[in-house]
Amino acid sequence: MSRIKIGQLGIGHNHGAAKMAALRNLSELFEIVGVAESDPVWREKRSGLSSYTGLPFLAEEEVLQYPGLDAVLVEKDVPELIPTAMQCAAQGLHIHLDKPGGESLADFRRLLGICDSRSLALQQAYVYRYNPALRFCLKAVQEGWLGDVFEIHAVMSRDDSENPDYRRWLAQFKGGAMYIFAGYLIDQVLLMLGKPDKVTPFMKQTRKDGLIDNGLAVLEYARATATIRVSVVEIDGMRHRRFIICGTDGSVELCPIEKSSYYTDPLLVRLTLKKAAGGYSSGTHQVDCGPLGCRYGAQLREFADIIHGKIANPYSLQHELLLHQTLLAACDYPEEA
């Protein structure tokens, strides 16, 4: 099977360099044609990173018009993600799109419509989909080990209290920190519980610099609630990232969701069962789910399989639309028709 010809548009996204490093380790699947970044500020800051060593930096049009180009990684700074993805979709290219999907639901819906009409793969870069510990938690829910789920508590925090440049960057978004981070958690909740009946946001700030630096969203269901918390002022917040699911027959707890040494350290889930299920006896177990390994490798291999038609996209366009609609509601954006 021929390799997929792929280019990267933008290096301004904070995950762009690591994504390219992962892509270069999959040379049996992808042929990288080049990288484009039209913003001189980002080129100055990031073009010298080791992930890009030896790769040609081209104009955007050179990448988009490259003979036989199949796909693109859209890794521009967040405000430019959707306009760039629209351009790529209009040219019939498969898209790996970094997140989040823009502050306009209407624009995101238009992008999905183009991809649907042209049978294009659209993969959003929500990496928790490939976290083995979260996959274990999802399996426990879907296979009924926990009984009827009535509560999910999810937290994704970090500490940028002494990082004024990053705070200024976050402040450009109405949804602040919630807009950038809550989607990872909402994605998992939707996979477990489906569409919520109601979303109630609580947006807060710890200082008067224009940034919503912490927030809570409550997702309500007929028999359950899910709380989504995000903060960029939590001391040692990365180690406190957690996902807890409680049901009538048991619970699972994952903390931290990922470790700083996730390439090698195993992720542990605390599983408690009222009765035996899934091959586990009643009682409490520490389940070793193995290390995460490369944060982006599994996702990019999946992208290749979707493009080649080996698998259907596990995350449908309908799911991506619901996810983004729920994210914007959780960040207190005005509802769009």
**Across residues 291-315, what is the average pLDDT?**
95
Distances (CA, A) of 196 to 78, 193, 200, 223: 26, 8, 10, 11
For the domain spanning 129-291, the CATH number is: 3.30.360.10
Domain ranges of the chain: 4-125, 129-291
Sorting pLDDT into bands at 50, 70 and 90, what band is 217? Answer: very high
**Across residues 134-154, what is the average pLDDT?**
99
pLDDT in tens, 35-44: 999 999 999 9
Residue 191 has pLDDT above 60, yes or no: yes
Count the neighbouring beta carbons within 10 Å of the beta carbon of residue 99.
Answer: 22
Per the prediction, the chain carries an average pLDDT of 97
Q: 133: number of CA atoms within 13 Å, CB side?
A: 28
DSSP 306-335: HHTTSS--SS-HHHHHHHHHHHHHHTTPPP
Alpha helices in 195-268 (DSSP H): 237-240
Greatest pairwise CA separation for the chain in angstroms:
60
Residue among 186, 193, 201, 195 at smallest CA distance from 155: 186
Q: Whole-model pTM? A: 0.96
**Do residues 268 and 288 make contact, with C-beta atoms less than 8 angstroms apart?**
yes
CA distance 211 to 203: 10
Q: 315: number of CA atoms within 13 Å, CB side?
A: 24
State the pLDDT at residue 1: 76
Residue spans of beta strands (DSSP E) within the chain: 4-9, 30-36, 57-58, 71-74, 94-97, 122-124, 149-157, 198-204, 214-220, 225-231, 242-247, 250-254, 266-273, 283-291
Sorting pLDDT into bands at 50, 70 and 90, what band is 264? Answer: confident
State the pLDDT at residue 48: 95
Give the residues across from 283 on adjacent strands: 273
- Beta carbons within 8 Å of 162's beta carbon, 6+ residues apart: none
Rounded percentage of the chain residues whose pLDDT exceeds 90: 95
pLDDT in tens, 14-28: 999 999 999 999 999
pLDDT in tens, 42-94: 999 999 999 999 999 999 999 999 999 999 999 999 999 999 999 999 999 99
What CATH topology corresponds to 4-125? Answer: Rossmann fold (3.40.50)
Distances (CA, A) of 154 to 8, 74, 307, 334: 32, 28, 32, 24
Give the residues across from 31 on adjacent strands: 5
Sorting pLDDT into bands at 50, 70 and 90, what band is 179? Answer: very high
State the pLDDT at residue 265: 87
Q: Is there a common fold for 4-125 and 129-291?
A: no
State the pLDDT at residue 222: 99
